[in-house]
């Protein structure tokens, strides 16, 4: 009996070795099973959806609750996220008609003011800077307030003991305070005790490696306990079977001009070009890229305001791939338009299980000018399901130490877990394949200059550390 058990155990170990060896040679970094536990039940397959309102596309990536020395991190899949997001929208609706809000005066503040206000507060962290005037207009739906269009933010702070809202832009290191309500924020938002926060949401302030600096006023928070994450199984969005339907989303008639380019290393690009110089490029890496030159509208024609331009963006994405479930804004910025009104670049990121699925290039980016959309960049995986096992991830301090040489003298604005993978099965012989592959967790390190570093999050025997683009 004992010999049979030994033989069975040996077969199991051989099977595990074969699995991880196969993953390694297919360029998926195989996690060492330092802590193995069954993954959660299958998560619903992300699908195309119509957001209930524009403002829900400009929701935060995650939230923090600060109760003096106690901190909690809330992702988009947790019930407290929805409570605090709905509370913020309701507070905007209430504040837009208040006597104080009518002044609409943003007062510059220092990092010490932000840190003092954060002691008892709710903090909303965004994936990229947003124009505050547009965000407020979208949130309030109709408002008399007018804010400077050069004010961009990627953090909102709601101190519960005040009647003010605080804004921060970690790229420019600017901070503002605005007294927006006639009553204290504690009357507009649920109390911390009513959120029923759990021990698994507890976070602590990360200890920084020597020489690593933070953006003034900011802090890095990390889960208190041991953290585990599964890989997630996904496939590329372009295959031989669906290429034709993708082209039809952009053109009613397939353009006659069609050429295929080889970029090396198995990367293939199929280009479809119309007489109007509309160009659709399909990459076998999963990237869809579209460009055109919209006609300049006549003077005084509608379509020049930020709201009107985003309406064009919303409808364009809706009819050319759809909005992925879990999409939130990753930032917006003005771009030249060739007219007296600026255009804008809007970027979005997909959240899966509350965790962003990212790349070294934007995963969903749209450029729009008065006249129409001029550029569309889409790299979104089809998420199938989480892997069966969960594996322990390295601590954020370890990730920062791995990245310290690349960080150099730059300042860190945020660190969070994300999913990442580069397509690893590329062939010129069969370019558009839809083989499932695993996306794995990484620590994403955001820098104040807008750069992003990725560090493999699993504790590995063959530790790759910092991931190169």
Task: Supply φ then ψ for residue 407, to 5 degrees.
Answer: -70, -45
pLDDT at res. 14: 62
Six token digits for residue 182? 């006639």
Per-residue pLDDT tens over the stretch 298-332:
776 666 688 889 999 999 999 999 999 899 999 99
DSSP calls for 65-132: EEETTEEEEEETTSHHHHHHHHHHHHHHHHHTTSTTGGG--PEE--HHHHHHHTTEEEEEEEEEEEEH
Of 415 and 296, more confident? 415
**Same-domain status, 334 and 255:** yes
Write down the pLDDT at residue 165: 97
The pLDDT value given to residue 24: 40
Residues 245 and 366 in one domain: yes
CA–CA gap between residue 2 and residue 201 (Å, rounded): 44
The CATH number of whichever domain residue 367 belongs to comes to 3.30.310
Domain final position from 357, 383, 409: 383
Residues 294 and 355 grouped into a single domain: yes
- In a domain? residue 432: no
- The arithmetic mean of pLDDT across residues 97-108, rounded, is 82
Query: Which residues does residue 365 pair with via DSSP β-bridges, in sequence order?
Result: 347, 377
Quick one: tokens of 126? Answer: 């965004």
Residue with tokens 């670049």: 345
Q: Please tell me the distance from the alpha carbon of residue 151 to that of residue 130, in angstroms, as a whole number.
A: 8
> Does 180 lie in the same domain as 73?
yes
- Shared domain check, 173 and 251: no
Burial class (CB in 10 A: 0-12, 13-18, 19+), 139: buried
Burial zone of 196 (CB within 10 Å; 0-12 exposed, 13-18 middle, 19+ buried): exposed
Could you tell me if residue 461 is inside a domain?
no
238 phi/psi in degrees, rounded to 5? -115, 130
Are residues 245 and 395 in contact, defined by beta-carbon separation less than 8 angstroms?
A: no
Query: Tens digit of pLDDT for each residue in 69-88?
Result: 999 999 999 999 999 999 99
Do 200 and 239 lie in a common domain?
no
Please tell me whether residues 268 and 306 are part of one structural domain: yes
Instruction: Report yes or no on 304 lying in a domain.
Output: yes
Tell which of 205, 224, 259 closes a domain. 205
Burial 214-234 (b: 16+ CB within 10 A, else e): bbbbbbbbbbeeebbbbbbbb
Tell me how far apart the alpha carbons of residues 184 and 122 are, in angstroms, rounded to a whole number.
13
Q: Which residues, in sequence order, are CB contacts of 217 under 8 Å at separation 6+?
A: 110, 111, 112, 114, 115, 168, 173, 175
Residue 95, pLDDT score: 85
Q: Is residue 98 part of a domain?
A: yes
252 and 375 inside one domain: yes
What does the pLDDT look like over 330-347, one tens digit per residue?
999 999 887 778 899 999
* Residue 51 is assigned to a structural domain of this protein: no
Q: Say yes or no: 194 and 295 in one domain.
A: no
Which range marks the domain in which residue 344 is found?
A: 235-383
Q: Is the pLDDT higher at 279 or at 465?
A: 279
Give CA separation, 45 vs 57, 114, 361, in Å.
19, 39, 24
Give every CB contact of residue 192 below 8 A, 6+ residues apart in sequence: 65, 67, 160
Domain final position from 185, 205, 225:
205
> Residue 23 pLDDT > 80, yes or no?
no
Is residue 168 located within the same domain as residue 270?
no
Task: Tell me which residue of 386, 403, 405, 391 sits closest to 444, measured CA to CA.
Answer: 403
Rounded to an integer, what is the distance from CA 103 to the centroid of its chain? 33
Q: Is 418 helix (H, G, I), strand (E, B) or coil?
A: strand
Share of the chain above pLDDT 70, in %: 86
Q: Are residues 161 and 256 in the same domain?
A: no
Could you tell me the pLDDT band of residue 447, with boundaries at 50, 70 and 90?
very high
178 pLDDT band (50/70/90 cuts)? very high
Would you say residue 45 has pLDDT above 60? no
Please work out, in degrees rounded to the nearest 5, the angle formed at the alpha carbon of residue 199 by the alpha carbons of 455 and 402: 15
Element (H, E) at 159: strand 152-159
Quote the pLDDT of residue 216: 96
pLDDT at 164 over 90: yes
Q: What was the pLDDT predicted at 313?
A: 94
Residues 192 and 109 in one domain: yes
pLDDT at position 465, please? 84
More reliable by pLDDT, 262 or 25: 262
Residue 295 domain-assigned?
Answer: yes
102 occurs within a structural domain:
yes
216 domain-assigned: no
pLDDT of residue 9: 63
Rounded CA-CA distance 184/227 in Å is 36
Give SS3 for 433: coil
Q: Count other C-beta atoms under 10 Å from residue 183's C-beta.
A: 12
Could you tell me the end-to-end alpha-carbon distance of the chain, in angstroms, rounded to an integer?
52
| Closest by Cα among 157, 156, 165, 163 to 186 | 163
Structural domain count of the chain: 2
Query: Tokens 């041991």 label which residue?
Result: 226
DSSP string, 243-263: HHHHHHHH-SS--SEEEEEEE
The residues near 48 (Cβ < 8 Å, ≥ 6 apart) are: 321, 322, 323, 324, 325
């Amino acid at each position: 009996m004992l010999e049979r058990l030994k033989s069975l155990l040996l077969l199991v170990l051989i099977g595990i070795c074969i699995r991880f060896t196969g993953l390694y040679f297919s360029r998926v970094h195989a996690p060492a099973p330092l802590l193995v536990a069954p993954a959660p039940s299958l998560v619903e397959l992300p699908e195309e959806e119509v957001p209930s309102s524009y403002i829900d596309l400009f929701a935060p990536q995650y939230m923090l609750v600060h109760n003096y020395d106690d901190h909690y991190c809330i992702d988009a899949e947790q019930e407290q996220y929805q409570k605090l997001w709905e509370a913020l929208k309701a507070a905007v609706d209430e504040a837009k008609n208040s006597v104080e809000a009518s002044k609409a005066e943003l007062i510059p503040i220092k990092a010490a003011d932000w840190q003092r206000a954060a002691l008892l507060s709710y903090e909303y962290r965004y994936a990229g800077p947003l124009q505050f005037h547009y965000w407020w207009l979208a949130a309030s739906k109709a408002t008399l307030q007018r804010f400077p269009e050069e004010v961009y933010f990627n953090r909102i702070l709601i101190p519960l003991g005040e009647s003010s809202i605080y804004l921060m832009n970690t790229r420019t290191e600017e901070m503002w305070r605005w007294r927006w309500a006639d009553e204290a924020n504690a009357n507009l938002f649920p109390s911390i005790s009513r959120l029923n926060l759990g021990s698994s949401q507890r976070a602590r302030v990360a200890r920084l490696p020597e020489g690593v600096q933070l953006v003034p006023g900011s802090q890095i928070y990390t889960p208190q306990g041991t953290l585990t994450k599964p890989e997630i199984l996904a496939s590329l969005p372009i295959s031989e079977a669906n290429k034709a339907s993708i082209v039809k989303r952009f053109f009613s008639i397939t353009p006659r001009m069609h050429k295929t380019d080889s970029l090396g290393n198995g990367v293939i690009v199929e280009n479809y070009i119309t007489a109007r110089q509309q160009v659709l490029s399909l990459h076998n890496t999963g990237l869809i890229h579209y460009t055109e030159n919209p006609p300049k509208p006549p003077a005084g024609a509608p379509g020049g305001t930020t709201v009107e331009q985003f309406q064009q963006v919303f409808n364009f994405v809706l009819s050319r791939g759809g909005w992925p479930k879990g999409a939130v804004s990753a930032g917006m910025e003005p771009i030249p338009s060739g007219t007296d009104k600026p255009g804008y670049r809007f970027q979005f990121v997909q959240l899966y299980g509350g965790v962003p699925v990212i790349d070294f290039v934007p995963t969903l980016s749209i450029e729009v000018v008065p006249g129409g959309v001029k550029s569309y960049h889409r790299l979104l995986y089809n998420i199938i399901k989480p892997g069966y096992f969960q594996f322990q991830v390295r601590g954020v301090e370890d990730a920062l130490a791995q990245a310290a040489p690349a960080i150099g003298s730059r300042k860190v604005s945020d660190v969070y877990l994300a999913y990442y993978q580069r397509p690893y099965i590329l062939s010129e012989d069969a370019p558009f394949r839809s083989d499932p592959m695993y996306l794995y967790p990484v620590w994403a390190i955001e820098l104040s200059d807008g750069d992003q570093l990725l560090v493999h999050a699993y504790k590995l025997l063959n530790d790759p550390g910092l991931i190169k683009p």
